[in-house]
Structure 1
């Protein structure tokens, strides 16, 4: 009886095996990328005027807002803080960062136009998006960023409407202060907030 031993795989077999593995990973990446996300639930709008208290107007600059927001991002994201940056330097808001897919960081950039809501919340409407060199619909880019980017409860990424809802009035602020946006004009560097100090906070 003659036993036939298998020899070492040839370079063609190794090449085809590697190409096949890469092809499978590539397909899996796009399946995950194009998989639909759950519908975004926009929070009910809160109106800080409904609670009795004193109101004050606070004016900020783009530079101060940059420092404040990115400091918050650093604390919220912790070990991923170096992956995400919010930039208020131009006429619009820019969200910059990278998402990881198969041990590779893919950079993304989203340009957003701010719109103040009647209750003082802020909606950022996307005007330009990119995800590395991938040619994808903007809705799909925002869906993938939503999957990968952790956000606080009062921030909602809405791929269907290509927007990000910032529930400023629902932020948890120390001393129970309430905040709303009064104006958000980045072009002219005119940013103002209304701060409400509830009477109960002062013991009234």
Structure 2
């Protein structure tokens, strides 16, 4: 005669549930404090280049916020292979970076407001004026540090958490036909954005 084994599944007791929840909270708190105390990484700002140093013809191009906004987001989608539009750049009176990062197997929304400033060589610096990472009350420097770790950027873009800025080395962008680009004006409030395009003589075979 075969004996039948009967397995009885018991529900976890309230003590097990309680200690399980406590354990998750402890892990979250530990991660939070480790993240706060972890030193900020050093950032190397790209060496400034001046397109005037290379002989060639220069042209001025004017753009609207709408046109530039479409171009920037197309580049972001292409470079980051962001088919789901996880990251979006909005040019309004300020520059806004919207997106999300994964933490604890959950997508946490990110919002960063940036103030643009044109550099003397034509590069662009975006100073962070307001940042949020979900409902986490993290210092702004730490938010930008987290974004730096999670966000893939081209070599000519550097995120500097210590100084709370994003440096965009426009003059170091690799453009087809070897054209060189610099920002001449970036006035979002008045929708006045201009670029200087340098066509090197060597590109024309001169």
TM-score, length of structure 1 as denominator length: 0.91
List alignment gaps of at least 5 residues for structure 1. Answer: 1-6
Which of these residues, 22, 25, 32, is aligned with residue 23 of structure 1?
25
Would the aligned equivalents of 2:101 and 2:109 in 1 still touch at CA under 8 Å? Answer: yes
Partner of 2:15: 13
Deviates more, 1:132-141 or 1:157-166: 132-141
Deviates more, 1:135-144 or 1:78-87: 78-87
| Contiguous gaps of at least 5 residues in structure 2 | 1-8
In 1, Cα distance between the equivalents of 2:201 and 2:16? 73
The structural deviation recorded for 1:28 is 4.8
CA–CA separation in structure 1 for the residues paired with 2:174 and 2:33:
37
Contact 1:122–1:166 (8 Å) recurs in 2: yes
Counterparts of 1:32 and 1:106, CA distance in 2 = 18
Q: Equivalents in 2 of 1:150, 1:33: separation in Å?
A: 20
Taking only aligned residues, the RMSD between alpha carbons, in angstroms, comes to 1.7
User: How far apart are residue 81 of structure 1 and its match?
Assistant: 5.4
The superposition leaves residues 105-156 of structure 1 with CA deviations (integer Å, 9 ceiling, x where unpaired) of 1101111110000000000001111111111211111111111111110000
What is the TM-score normalised by the length of structure 2?
A: 0.90
1:156-180 superposed Cα distances (whole Å, 9 cap, x missing partner): 0111111100000000100100000
Q: How many residues align?
A: 197
Residue among 129, 138, 143 paired with 1:141: 143
* Conservation of the 8 A alpha-carbon contact between 2:158 and 2:168: yes
The equivalences for 1:165-184 within 5 A come to 165-184=167-186
